[in-house]
C-alpha cells in the first residue's frame, strides 16, 4: 500500500491510460467509485429488467428476524422461491406471503444455498446440521458490534463449525431497512468473499439478480475486513477532524489572549464581544490556509524523500502514507473554513461595532471640519487583498467541486490532475498572497507583537510559504529532471531498494 508508486505521489491518483482504476486527490475510496460507475450502470439495467423468465433455484434462509425477512421479501420479489429454517414453524404475518417456514433441517434439504441470518453467538445450533449442510453453499451475513471482536472472522468461525460446507461471506454491508425500503442507491455494492469459486459465483448471481453489485474480495481471509467495514466511523476523517479541532482550539485561545485579555489588561478596554465574531473570522481564514498548505505538504515531502533515496520503489513512512490518503478530507475542511470566512466577511458590515466605528470616524471628521484625503496606497492594498481573496476562493471552490466523485469521474486523468495539482497550487498562491497583502504591513510593526507574540496571520503563513518555496525549488530543471526520472522508474541504486523492501517484507511477516 505504501510503495512509492508514481501515482501515490500525485495529488491526482489516477492511472494514466486505459480505464481509470483509482482516482484520488483527495482519496482512496475512488477506486470503488470508478468501478462503481461502471457496475452501478450495469446493475441498474439489471434492476430494471430482472431476468424472471428463468426459473430460479430455491434459497433457504435460516432465521426469521429483521434481516432474514427483508432479504426473503426482496428475493421473492426477484423470483426466488424462499424457504425459511426457523425454531418455530408457525407462520406469522411478518413473514413474506409466498415463503415456506420449516425446521432448520427440513429447510436446508430443500435448497443448495443457505443464508444464515442469525447472530454469530447462536451459531452453535448449526453443529448438529453439519452433515445436512455438507457440500451446500452457506452464506454468512453477520456483523459484529466491535472492530475485530473475535480472533477469527464470523465466516471463518462458521467454516470451522461446518467443515464440509462451502462458506461465502456476503450481504453484511446491506441493511435490512435498505432492503425493505428499496433505498439501495447509496449502498449497491455487496462485498463477496469465499474459498470456493463456484459457491462465490452462485452468491454473486443472487446479488446481481437483486439489482445489487457484487464486489469479489477474494478468499475467506478477507472476511474480517468485510466485517469491520460497516463498523468504521469516517476512518479517513479522523486525523483531519482532530487536527482541525486542535488547531482551532489553539488559535481561539491565542486570539483570546492577544485580542481580548491583552487589551483588557493594558488598554482597559472590554473587547470580550470579539469572541462571537471577530475571533471566529480570524480563525477561519487562518485554518483554511494552514489546512490547504497541509494538503500539498506531503506531496513535496514525498518528492524530497524520493530524491534523497533515488528511487520510488521504497515505502514511505507510515505517517506520510496516511497523511497522503487523507488529503481530500483536509482539503474539504479547509474549503469549509474558507466558506465560513467568506460568509463572516459579507456579514461584517451589519455588526454594530463596525457601524459605530464608521460613524465615529465620520463624526470626528465633521467635528474637526477636516476630510481625510483618499490614501491611494491603502486603497490599492485593500482592493488587491480583496481581489486576491475572491479569486482564491473561486479556485478553491473549483478544486473542491472537482474532488466530488460525480465530477471527477467525468473528467480524464490529465484534466483531473490539472485541476487538483495546477489549480490547487494556484489557489494556494492566491490565498497566501491574500494573507500577505492583508497582514504584510504589520509584520515589521512592533505593536503587532503583543506579549512578543506574532499575529496569527503571520503564523498561518508558515506552512503555505514553506510548501511554495520547496515546490518552487522542485520545479527547477536540475531538480525536476531527476525527480521525473525517479517517478518513471529510474533508480540510483536498484540493489539497495530491493534489500530495504526485503527487510520491510520480512519484518511485516
Ligand atoms: P434478529 O432480528 O435478532 O434475528 C435473528 C434471528 O435469529 C431470530 O429472528 C431467530 O430466528 C434466530 N435466532 C435467535 N436466537 C437463536 C438461537 N439461539 N438459535 C437459533 N436461531 C436463533 O437479527 P437480524 O437483525 O435479523 O440479524 C441477523 C444477522 O444478520 C446478524 O448476524 C446480523 O449481524 C446480520 N445483519 C443484519 C443487518 C440488519 O440490518 N439487521 C444488516 C446486515 C447484517 P427464528 O426465530 O426464526 O429461529
pLDDT in tens, 266-285: 988 889 999 999 999 999 99
Q: What residue ranges line ligand 1, CB within 6 angstroms?
A: 63-68, 86-88, 117-119, 122, 125, 141-143, 172, 175-176
pLDDT reported for residue 53: 54
Question: Which residue's C-alpha comes closest to atom 4 of ligand 1?
Answer: 65
Alpha-carbon gap, residue 46 to 50, rounded angstroms: 5
Give the phi and the psi of residue 110 in degrees, each rounded to 5. Answer: -90, -10
Residue to mutate (ligand 1; options 61, 67, 101, 175; most atoms within 8 A of CB): 67
Tell whether the model's pLDDT for residue 209 goes beyond 90.
Answer: yes
Enter the C-alpha cell of residue 179: 432492503
Residue to mutate (ligand 1; options 100, 104, 118, 171; most atoms within 8 A of CB): 118
In 136-162, which positions are buried (b, 16+ CB within 10 angstroms) versus exposed (e)? bbbbbbbbbeeeeeeeebbbbbbbebb
Q: What is the mean pLDDT of the chain?
A: 85
Enter the C-alpha cell of residue 451: 506579549
Handedness of CA 157, 161, 167, 172 (dihedral sign): negative
Residue to mutate (ligand 1; options 61, 62, 63, 99; most atoms within 8 A of CB): 63
Among 289-298, 357-366, 497-506, the range with the most confident prediction by mean pLDDT is: 289-298
| Rounded distance from Cα 182 to ligand 1 centre (Å) | 20
Tell whether the model's pLDDT for residue 15 goes beyond 50.
Answer: no
Is the CB of residue 139 less than 8 Å from the CB of residue 114?
yes
Tell whether the model's pLDDT for residue 1 goes beyond 50.
Answer: no
Question: Which residue's C-alpha comes closest to atom 23 of ligand 1?
Answer: 65
| Rounded distance from Cα 415 to ligand 1 centre (Å) | 48
| Rounded distance from Cα 101 to ligand 1 centre (Å) | 15
| Rounded distance from Cα 243 to ligand 1 centre (Å) | 40
3-state SS class at 59 = strand
| Rounded distance from Cα 279 to ligand 1 centre (Å) | 52
| Rounded distance from Cα 214 to ligand 1 centre (Å) | 23
Mean predicted confidence (pLDDT) in 56-83:
95
Is the CB of residue 291 less than 8 Å from the CB of residue 331?
yes
Which run of H or E residues covers position 31?
A: helix 30-48
Question: Which residue's C-alpha comes closest to atom 44 of ligand 1?
Answer: 172
Task: Give the atom of ligand 1 at the shortest distance from the alpha carbon of 68.
Answer: 26
| Rounded distance from Cα 187 to ligand 1 centre (Å) | 21
Strand 59-62 relative to strand 82-85, pairing: parallel
Question: Which residue's C-alpha comes closest to atom 11 of ligand 1?
Answer: 63
| Rounded distance from Cα 141 to ligand 1 centre (Å) | 10
Residues 6+ apart with CB under 8 A from 127: 161
| Rounded distance from Cα 115 to ligand 1 centre (Å) | 11
Enter the C-alpha cell of residue 161: 463449525
pLDDT reported for residue 269: 85
Question: Which residue's C-alpha comes closest to atom 9 of ligand 1?
Answer: 65
Alpha-carbon gap, residue 423 to 416, rounded angstroms: 10
Over pLDDT 70: what percentage of the chain? 85
Write the secondary structure of 420-462 as one string of H (helix), E (strand) and C (coil). Answer: HHHHHHHHHHHHHHHHHHHHHHHCCCHHHCHHHCCCHHHHHHH
- 315 or 23, higher pLDDT: 315
- 106 or 33, higher pLDDT: 106
- Predicted TM-score (pTM) of this structure: 0.70
Amino acid at each position: 500500500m505504501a510503495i512509492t508508486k508514481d501515482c501515490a505521489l500525485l495529488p491526482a491518483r489516477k492511472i494514466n491510460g486505459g480505464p481509470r482504476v483509482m482516482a484520488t486527490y483527495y482519496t482512496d475510496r475512488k477506486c470503488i467509485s470508478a468501478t462503481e460507475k461502471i457496475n452501478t450502470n450495469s446493475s441498474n439495467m439489471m434492476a430494471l429488467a430482472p431476468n424472471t423468465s428463468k426459473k430460479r433455484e430455491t434459497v433457504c434462509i435460516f432465521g426469521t428476524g429483521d434481516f432474514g425477512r427483508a432479504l426473503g421479501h426482496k428475493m421473492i420479489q426477484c423470483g426466488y422461491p424462499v424457504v425459511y429454517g426457523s425454531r418455530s414453524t408457525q407462520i406469522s404475518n411478518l413473514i413474506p406471503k409466498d415463503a415456506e417456514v420449516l425446521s432448520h433441517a427440513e429447510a436446508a434439504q430443500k435448497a443448495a444455498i443457505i443464508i444464515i441470518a442469525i447472530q454469530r453467538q447462536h451459531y452453535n445450533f448449526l453443529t448438529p446440521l453439519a452433515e445436512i449442510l455438507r457440500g451446500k453453499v452457506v452464506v454468512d451475513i453477520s456483523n459484529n458490534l466491535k472492530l475485530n471482536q473475535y480472533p477469527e472472522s464470523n465466516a471463518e468461525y462458521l467454516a470451522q463449525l461446518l467443515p464440509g460446507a462451502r462458506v461465502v461471506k456476503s450481504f453484511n454491508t446491506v441493511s435490512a431497512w435498505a432492503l425493505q425500503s428499496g433505498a439501495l442507491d447509496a449502498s449497491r455494492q455487496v462485498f463477496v468473499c469465499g474459498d470456493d469459486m463456484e459457491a462465490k459465483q452462485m452468491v454473486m448471481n443472487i446479488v446481481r439478480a437483486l439489482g445489487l453489485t457484487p464486489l469479489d474480495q477474494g478468499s475467506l481471509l478477507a472476511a474480517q475486513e468485510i466485517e469491520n467495514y460497516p463498523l468504521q466511523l469516517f476512518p479517513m476523517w479522523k486525523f483531519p477532524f482532530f487536527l482541525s479541532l486542535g488547531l482551532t482550539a489553539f488559535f481561539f485561545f491565542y486570539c483570546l489572549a492577544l485580542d481580548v485579555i491583552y487589551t483588557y489588561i493594558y488598554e482597559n478596554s472590554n473587547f470580550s464581544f470579539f469572541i462571537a465574531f471577530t475571533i471566529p473570522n480570524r480563525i477561519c481564514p487562518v485554518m483554511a490556509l494552514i489546512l490547504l498548505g497541509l494538503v500539498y505538504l506531503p506531496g513535496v515531502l514525498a518528492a524530497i524523500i524520493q530524491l534523497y533515496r533515488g528511487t520510488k520503489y521504497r515505502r514511505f513512512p507510515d505517517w506520510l502514507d496516511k497523511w497522503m490518503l487523507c488529503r481530500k478530507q483536509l482539503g474539504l475542511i479547509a474549503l469549509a473554513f474558507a466558506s465560513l470566512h467568506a460568509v463572516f466577511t459579507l456579514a461584517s458590515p451589519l455588526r454594530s461595532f463596525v457601524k459605530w466605528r464608521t460613524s465615529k470616524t465620520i463624526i470626528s471628521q465633521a467635528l474637526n471640519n477636516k476630510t481625510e484625503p483618499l490614501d491611494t496606497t491603502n486603497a490599492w492594498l485593500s482592493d488587491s487583498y480583496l481581489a486576491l481573496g475572491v479569486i482564491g476562493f473561486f479556485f478553491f471552490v473549483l478544486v473542491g467541486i472537482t474532488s466530488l466523485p460525480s465530477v471527477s469521474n467525468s473528467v480524464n486523468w490529465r484534466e483531473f490532475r490539472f485541476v487538483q495539482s495546477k489549480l490547487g497550487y494556484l489557489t494556494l498562491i492566491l490565498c497566501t498572497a491574500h494573507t500577505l497583502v492583508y497582514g504584510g504591513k504589520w509584520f515589521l510593526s512592533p505593536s503587532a507583537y503583543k506579549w512578543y507574540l506574532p499575529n496569527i496571520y503571520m503564523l498561518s503563513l508558515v506552512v503555505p510559504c514553506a510548501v511554495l518555496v520547496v515546490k518552487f525549488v522542485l520545479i527547477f530543471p536540475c531538480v525536476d529532471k531527476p525527480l521525473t526520472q525517479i517517478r518513471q522508474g529510474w533508480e540510483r541504486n536498484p540493489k539497495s531498494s530491493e534489500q530495504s523492501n526485503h527487510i520491510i517484507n520480512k519484518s511485516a511477516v
